Amino acid sequence: MKDPKELLAQMTLEEKAAMCDGRDFWHLKGLERLGIPEIMVCDGPHGLRKKDYDKKGSSLVASIPAICFPTAATTACSWDTGLLGEMGKALGGKCLKEKVGVLLGPGVNMKRSPLCGRNFEYFSEDPLLAGELAAAFINGVQSRGVGTSLKHFCANDQESRRMNGDSVVDERALREIYLPAFETAVKKAQPWTVMNSYNKINGTFGSENAHTQTEILRDTWGFE
Closest by CA position to 178, among listed 208, 199, 149:
199
Cα dihedral 8→14→16→20 (10° resolution): -170
CATH code for the structural domain at 68-224: 3.20.20.300
d(Cα 60, Cα 194) in Å, to the nearest integer?
22
What DSSP string describes 177-216?
A: IISHHHHHHHHHH--SEEEEPSSEETTEEGGG-HIIIIII
Beta bridge partners of 167: 201
Spell out the per-residue pLDDT of the chain, length 224, in tens: 678 889 999 999 999 999 888 888 899 999 999 999 999 999 988 999 998 876 665 555 678 888 999 999 999 999 999 999 999 999 999 999 999 999 999 999 999 988 899 999 999 999 999 999 999 999 999 999 999 999 999 999 889 888 999 999 999 999 999 999 999 999 999 999 999 999 999 999 999 999 999 999 999 999 98
